[in-house]
Structures are given as structure tokens and as C-alpha cells.
Amino acid sequence: MRSEWLLAIALTGCAGTIDDPTAFTHAGSTAHAACGDVEATLASRCATAGCHAATNPSGGLDLATPGTLARLTGKPASGGGVLVVAGYAAHSVLYLKLTASPPFGARMPYGGSLDDATIACVHDWITEAR
């Protein structure tokens, strides 16, 4: 009986093949290919003059200098909480400030918002930082 069960599993196979490695991963882990460079996106959309540029960044949050994820992981946010909690976007102020209901202050970027796909990319970028 056990060998028949194993044979049935083997014959069923799995969704992925060596030619399609993305089928072996969860949905979030393929986001970077579709998202491109999340750091570059944050720099272009958030590191503008008067906001989070490298020179005199608002709230002390520099989103222009390379290595954003490493620099912000475990660092306190000026309004409370932690900027990036590696592996947990839902606990990361950087991600939460992009959502419709941030834990404090206004939604970012100020005066506008990122599209849902970009916000999902930031979420996955932080979540995959384990």
C-alpha cells in the first residue's frame, strides 16, 4: 500500500520543472524579478529634495544612499517602531508608511502614493530579507 501511494505521488509530479524554476518557489520570492531594483525605486520616488535624500533627509531617513535594506534593518523609526524588521514587512515602518493606514503620520510618499504593485514589491523585498 505504501509503495502504491509513493508511486502515485511520483507519477503526479509537481508543478515546476528545471526549465521553470519559479514554479518551485512561493509567489513572493519571484517578486524581485518582476519588481526590478526596489532600492532604486525608493530612491527615485522618495529621495527627492526636502524628503528622504542623502543630504538633510526628512526624519533622518536617507533612502538615496545604496544599501538601504541593511542600513535600516533594526533601526528605530522617528515616530516609533522599527524601520525594517527583516522578514516581517507588516512590522516594518518603512512598508507601513506606504499603506493607506500608516501607524502614525501621513501616508508616504507625501502628496501622493505608490501603486499597489510597487507597494507589494517593497513588502516582498522586506519579507525576503530573512
Asked, for residue 109, whether it belongs to a domain, the answer is: yes
pLDDT bracket for residue 30 (50, 70, 90): very low
Distance separating alpha carbons of residues 124 and 4, to the nearest angstrom = 40
pLDDT per residue over 53-79, tens digit each? 999 999 999 999 999 999 999 999 998
Asked, for residue 72, whether it belongs to a domain, the answer is: yes
Distance separating alpha carbons of residues 130 and 128, to the nearest angstrom = 6
Residue-range definition of the domain harbouring residue 73: 30-127
Distance separating alpha carbons of residues 59 and 70, to the nearest angstrom = 18
pTM of the model: 0.73
Residue 52: per-residue pLDDT:
95
Specify whether the CB–CB gap between 13 and 23 falls below 8 A. no
Distance separating alpha carbons of residues 124 and 118, to the nearest angstrom = 10
Task: Please indicate whether residue 112 or residue 20 has the higher confidence score (pLDDT).
Answer: 112
Residue 113: per-residue pLDDT:
87
Q: How many domains does the chain have?
A: 1
